[in-house]
């Protein structure tokens, strides 16, 4: 989409077309091809040079992206503007709001968002009462970010610029979300020659000042610079990102933040016990949140529930009592079943299990394939955890709490 086509959508005619495109999209049950054909028929043949076809395509693209964006931005997505790649890279609204609140607590004089994309983080930072500015190399994304700020009546300057050409010293803080995808796919290692944009060297230079950098959750702990805090964040049980906080903003070395419902909870390396017991499976099994696992804080969960690890290499915790906590899902252990497939099938059929949820960690099992091979029949529903206990393959029949 050209910047000119997007800017046209922001005018009165564009708003009218967007409204009609929204109706047509719904009438065709979200089928973009059918909706496009219908919108073109309504517009008539027109003048090939008047841009009608381009405007119709731009409007329908926005409608489709708004529908897809609801998972990240909720009902507000219907008022926002997007590009396909900008939506993919954008931070979920609840995660961005958490980060913005933490930035606001540091009270920087201003915040520069380097690689601001469609402006999702700019919105959150501006709503937190911060003076914000954003830059991006893509002219369309810059216009989209500017439009999103305007859509909610928020202040902030946005312009086209390359991060490598910027002098960031005039800002109280810098936030960066490096692009991690090339034409050949996603790049996980920031040191790769075709890796992040801006590059890892630029990220390291930012972290020498007052900065926060959003990175992929799979970043190796060995790459974390000295003094930097790494915060892994999950939303609704899914790990969404890691954020690196420069020494000027860091409070711990590793942190896991879990966002659920209307609240959040946080766990850090300060919660780790001096030692953790390795022992047999008790009456309850706890499956730590992915952010906790990524942050290497499973032992901290064991300390919270007065429990132990069934295996020192597996991210499960067991305890003799039931506890409700946001950092792990709890299961009551009903019994241990045979681990071998044929015997497991017989045990499940004996219990009339027809619907089976398979959880697994530390074992070479593909749940969907195993479920097919088990060929279960019956009216009962069950959950089985396949894992290792003291290095031995184990099958546990459990009940989610």
Number of domains forming the structure of the chain: 3
Co-location of 92 and 174 in the same domain: yes
Residue 355, domain extent: 284-400
CA distance 198 to 124: 22
pLDDT tens digit at each of 401 positions of the chain: 788 889 989 999 889 989 988 988 888 887 877 777 777 776 555 444 557 778 888 888 999 999 999 999 999 999 999 999 999 999 999 999 999 999 999 999 999 999 999 999 999 999 999 999 999 999 999 999 999 999 999 999 999 998 888 889 899 999 999 876 555 556 556 666 556 777 888 889 999 999 999 998 999 899 999 999 999 999 999 999 999 999 999 999 999 999 988 789 999 999 999 999 999 999 999 999 999 999 999 999 999 999 999 999 999 999 999 999 999 999 999 999 999 999 999 999 999 999 999 999 999 999 999 999 999 999 999 999 999 999 999 999 999 99
**Nearest residue to 214 via CA among 194, 193, 196, 201:** 196
Paired residues of 135 in beta bridges: 114, 159
CA distance 363 to 87: 35
Co-location of 163 and 254 in the same domain: yes
Co-location of 113 and 38 in the same domain: no
- Among residues 267, 295, 327, the one where a domain terminates is 267
| Local structure of 159: helix, strand or coil | strand
Residue 396 domain flag: yes
Co-location of 163 and 248 in the same domain: yes
DSSP 321: S
Whichever domain contains 100, its CATH number is: 3.40.50.150
Strand pairing of 211-215 and 173-176? parallel
CA distance 300 to 313: 15
Co-location of 98 and 247 in the same domain: yes
Residue 48 domain flag: yes
Residue 276 domain flag: no
User: From residue 389, how far is each of 284, 316, 386 by CA, in Å?
Assistant: 14, 10, 10
Co-location of 359 and 305 in the same domain: yes
Task: Write down the pTM of the prediction.
Answer: 0.89
User: From residue 73, how far is each of 42, 58, 76, 262 by CA, in Å?
Assistant: 31, 20, 6, 14
* Order of strands, sheet of 392-400, starting from the edge strand that comes earlier in the sequence: 317-319, 284-288, 328-337, 392-400, 380-389, 353-360
Residue 79 domain flag: no
Element (H, E) at 37: helix 32-43
Co-location of 112 and 234 in the same domain: yes
If 0-12 CB within 10 Å is exposed, 13-18 middle and 19+ buried, where does residue 40 land? middle
Co-location of 101 and 247 in the same domain: yes
Residue 356 domain flag: yes
């Amino acid at each position: 989409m050209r910047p000119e086509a997007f800017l046209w959508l922001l005018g009165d005619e564009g708003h009218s077309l967007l409204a009609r495109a929204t109706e047509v999209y719904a009438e065709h049950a979200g089928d973009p091809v059918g909706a496009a054909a219908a919108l073109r028929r309504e517009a008539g043949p027109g003048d090939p040079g008047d841009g009608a076809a381009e405007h119709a395509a731009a409007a329908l693209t926005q409608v489709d992206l708004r529908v897809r964006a609801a998972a990240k931005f909720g009902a507000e997505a219907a008022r926002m503007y997007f590009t396909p790649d900008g939506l993919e890279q954008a931070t979920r609204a609840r995660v961005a709001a958490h980060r913005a609140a933490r930035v606001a607590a540091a009270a920087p004089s201003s915040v520069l968002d380097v690689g601001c994309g469609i402006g999702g983080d700019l919105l959150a930072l501006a709503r937190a009462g911060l003076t914000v500015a954003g830059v991006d190399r893509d002219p369309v994304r810059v216009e989209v970010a500017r439009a999103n700020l305007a859509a909610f009546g928020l202040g902030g300057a946005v312009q086209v610029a390359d991060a490598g050409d910027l002098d960031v010293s005039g800002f109280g803080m810098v936030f960066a979300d490096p692009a991690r995808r090339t034409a050949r796919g996603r790049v996980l290692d920031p040191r790769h020659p075709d890796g992040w944009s801006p590059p890892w060297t630029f990220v390291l230079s930012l972290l020498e000042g007052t900065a926060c950098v959003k990175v992929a959750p799979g970043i190796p702990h060995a790459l974390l610079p000295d003094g930097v805090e790494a915060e892994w964040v999950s939303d609704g049980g899914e790990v969404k990102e890691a954020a690196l906080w420069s020494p000027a903003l860091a409070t711990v070395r590793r942190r896991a933040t879990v966002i659920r419902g209307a609240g959040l909870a946080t766990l850090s390396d300060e919660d780790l016990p001096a030692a953790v017991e390795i022992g047999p499976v008790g009456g309850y099994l706890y499956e730590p949140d992915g952010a906790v696992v990524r942050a290497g804080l499973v032992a901290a969960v064991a300390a919270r529930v007065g429990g132990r690890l069934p295996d020192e290499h597996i991210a499960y915790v067991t305890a003799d009592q039931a506890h409700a906590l946001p950092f792990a899902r709890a299961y009551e252990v009903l019994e241990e079943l045979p681990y071998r497939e044929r015997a497991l099938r017989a045990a499940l059929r004996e219990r009339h299990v027809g619907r089976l949820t398979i959880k697994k960690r530390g074992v070479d099992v593909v749940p969907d394939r195993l479920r097919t091979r088990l060929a279960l029949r019956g009216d009962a529903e069950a959950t089985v955890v396949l894992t290792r206990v003291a290095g031995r393959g184990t099958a546990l029949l459990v009940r989610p709490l």
